[in-house]
Amino acid sequence: MRKNVPTETTSEILEMMEGIKVAMNTLIAEKEWIDNETRKEAQLKLREMLYYAGSRKWIQNEQLLDKYHQGLIFDREDSLDQMVTKIKKWKSDAEYRKLLRKVEGRVENFHDFPATLVNAFFSPRENLFEVEAGFLGPPHYYANYPKAINYGAVGMTIGHEITHGFDPSGSKFDHAGKLRNWWSNATREKFDKLVQCVVDQYSNEPIVPDIGMNMNGDLTKGENVADLGGLKAAFRVFSALIT
């Protein structure tokens, strides 16, 4: 991490994340179809949404790393096969302990994604989004390249993940990661109609034109909504930077 993701890169990505969160807050404020109470809940969720670039802080904290690997002990005589078996058992035990843990509200988990993972994600139970270290380099991010390129790639991805918090699935979780209906019936009904417009539009997109096979817009609606919202928020920030 320290070698391949410079501090300058992390700082710029975090700045992009904060800026796009602000843009998303403005977009929520502008929507006339959202009633005031639902708008307050949406803005609260956005305000409480955590974000990470490259890795979570605990990964670079030796004490927390030791805590994470507690119970994983190798002997000098262990073969490679024995070490792999111990790692698998240790991971299985850790997952089992999660099942036994009582969860109330928001819980930030210890994720063990590989540092090379080229991806980003949103976690509704934690109300957070993260861009992994493997994503913070070419062809997605280029240091010293024009902002248009980085906002069009990483910026749009950041906006995409934020929007997942308000897509047809993510919108069912509140600011604390609790599965709770925080929408008014009227606003949810209007939202569902707008989502249906997206479903209809994408269902008309051909996948294999020669045989008349189209996309299933209902299956992809979460990703499509996130794409549209993410692009709009990222473009809003970029436009402000160049004016």
**Angle ∠(109,28,190) on CA atoms, nearest 5:** 100
- Which CATH number covers residue 234? 3.40.390.10
227 is catalytic: yes
For residue 102, what are the domain limits?
A: 59-110
Residue 133 per-residue DSSP state = G
Please give the Cα distance from 34 to 46 (Å, whole number): 15
The pLDDT score that the predictor gives to residue 116 is 75
Neighbours of 73 (CB within 10 A): 9
Residue 3: pLDDT band (50, 70, 90) is: low
Least confident of 71-75, 93-97, 103-107: 103-107
Task: Identify whether residues 80 and 101 lie together within a single domain.
Answer: yes
Evaluate whether 54 touches 5 at the Cβ level (below 8 Å).
yes
Task: Identify whether residues 138 and 229 lie together within a single domain.
Answer: yes
Please give the Cα distance from 188 to 190 (Å, whole number): 5
Task: Identify whether residues 87 and 102 lie together within a single domain.
Answer: yes
3-state secondary structure of 128: strand
Task: Identify whether residues 30 and 64 lie together within a single domain.
Answer: no
Please give the Cα distance from 42 to 127 (Å, whole number): 12
Residues 159-179 pLDDT 10s:
999 999 999 999 999 999 999
The pLDDT score that the predictor gives to residue 108 is 59
Task: Identify whether residues 86 and 180 lie together within a single domain.
Answer: no
Task: Identify whether residues 79 and 166 lie together within a single domain.
Answer: no
Neighbours of 56 (CB within 10 A): 18
Task: Identify whether residues 226 and 121 lie together within a single domain.
Answer: yes
Task: Identify whether residues 87 and 199 lie together within a single domain.
Answer: no
Residue 106: pLDDT band (50, 70, 90) is: low
SS3 for 208-220 is EHHHCEECCCCCC
Among the listed residues 41, 161, 167, 174, the single catalytic one is 161
Among the listed residues 12, 132, 167, 227, the single catalytic one is 227
Q: Is residue 72 part of a domain?
A: yes
Least confident of 8-17, 53-62, 122-131, 178-187: 53-62
Q: For residue 110, what are the contacts with CB-CB under 8 A and spacing of at least 6? A: 58, 68
For residues 133 and 190, the model is more confident at 190
